[in-house]
Amino acid sequence: RPTMENVQNITPQIAWVGGSDRRLALFENLFPLENGVTYNAWLIKDEKTALIDTVDASVTHQFFASLETALDGRGLDYLVVSHMEPDHCANIGELCRRWPQVQLVGNKMTFQLIRQFHDVDIEGRCIEVQEGQELSLGRHNLRFVMAPMVHWPEVMFTYETTENILFAADAFGTFGGASGNLFSDEVDYAGLYLDEARRYYTNIVGKFGPQVLAAMKKLDGLSPAMICSLHGPVLRGEAIPLLLDKYAHWAAYKPEKQGVVLAYASMYGNTEAVAHKLAALLAEKGVEDLRMYDVSKTHYSEIIAQVFKYSHLVLASPTYNLHLYCPMDTLVRDLAALNVQNRDVAIIGNGSWAPSAHTTLQKMVEEDMKDMRLLAPPMLVRSTLKPEQLPELEALAEKLAASVKEKQ
Ligand code: FEO
């Protein structure tokens, strides 16, 4: 694509040299993007010059144009590699060819992964850093904070101690392309980005809650003036405590809010009708802000984000191939893979012959996931909900409504 530089300063000596890709349909070839994604990279110009990360291959040309412009003829002394996922590291090989003197700053695992991903000779140019080690650039000073498994093993935050800027790798990131307003307090962050920050975190980092809490503990006592994530706006002002609070919930698998997510699968509308009836009963009983999703229509990453947000979950599925309807199977397996836990659950299974969705869901929720509380035995529907089953559905709605209100 034709491109030009697009350097934006975040402080007089620190420039954004990243880019946005709004053409990408699926992040990681998995997650639908409504409005693209940013790949952030930062250049600190001091007595020494240091680049924090490179970018995805899709914005390579803009990145190099911006980097050349920002360097304005100076050399590049350091590349700090926060982690080796290719959306930030696609250009390490080319960077080393263009600036042969650049030294790579990372940890032992970083260098192993660079060798795995890139056909470039990095011997003699690796600075292996340890927890708490510092690197002075002149006025600016970088302190390295290891954040293993947030969400790759070699993840490393960089804290710039003079201007109090946390370079947080993927942490605190979000989907969504840059708008020109680089800072969260120049946009309606909560309105424009928070839902996507939740979807980003829960689906990409969600499995590693304990490791996220451990990394956040290392930040105790620091008061960053800005948090620079590799995706999304620079956090400044209100967005910092907002995101720290959200991360404390998400990483501990604590719901943000009492409420019910109803995720249903339905081939011909019969299971859907049961889900709608249950939703109406819940609303009648005073449950507000119900979130209802057809798993065939709504991408599982959206539903997973809502499951992290709310306290209660209803799963309803027909039996399919003596197991589960495929999109429901994907949703529940991924919830388990992401370590979703500590939720109150209700299950409805449908089957016209050899029904098993109800017991399959129960097994997956109780055996593959931790601390999930079934509020009632799974409800079995045979093809269609019969009037004589309405009291059972009503009782289920009552239990759900009472449980939601109990903790409010
Ligand atoms: Fe945005 Fe872990 O890469």
Q: Is 0.95 topped by the overall pTM?
A: yes
Q: What are phi and psi of 255, to 5 degrees?
A: -60, 150
Q: Provide the β-strand partners of residue 20.
A: 38
59 in Cβ contact with 21 (< 8 Å)? yes
Q: With beta carbons less than 8 A apart as the criterion, state whether 22 and 177 touch.
A: yes
3-state helix, strand, coil in the chain (%, to 5): 35, 25, 40
Assess whether the C-beta atom of 87 lies below 6 angstroms from ligand 1: yes
Q: Would you say the CB of residue 230 lies under 6 angstroms from ligand 1?
A: yes
Whether residue 189 contacts residue 233, with contact meaning beta carbons closer than 8 Å, is answered with yes
E strand or H helix that includes residue 366: helix 357-368
154 lines ligand 1 (CB under 6 A): no
Q: Is 334 in contact with 232 (CB distance < 8 Å)?
A: no
Backbone angles phi and psi of 274, in degrees to 5: -65, -45
Provide the residue-wise pLDDT of the chain in tens; the chain has 408 residues: 667 999 999 999 999 999 999 999 999 999 999 999 999 999 999 999 999 999 999 999 999 999 999 999 999 999 999 999 999 999 999 999 999 999 999 999 999 999 999 999 999 999 999 999 999 999 999 999 999 999 999 999 999 999 999 999 999 999 999 999 999 999 999 999 999 999 999 999 999 999 999 999 999 999 999 999 999 999 999 999 999 999 999 999 999 999 999 999 999 999 999 999 999 999 999 999 999 999 999 999 999 999 999 999 999 999 999 999 999 999 999 999 999 999 999 999 999 999 999 999 999 999 999 999 999 999 999 999 999 999 999 999 999 999 999 977
Tell me how far the alpha carbon of residue 43 lies from the centroid of ligand 1, in angstroms: 18
Q: List all residues 6 or more positions away from 377 whose beta carbon is below 8 Å from its beta carbon.
A: none
Q: How many angstroms does the Cα of residue 170 sit away from the middle of ligand 1?
A: 5
Kindly give the number of the ligand 1 atom that is closest to the alpha carbon of 231. 1
Ligand 1 contact, 118 CB (< 6 A) = no
The values of phi and psi at residue 28, to 5°, are: 55, 20
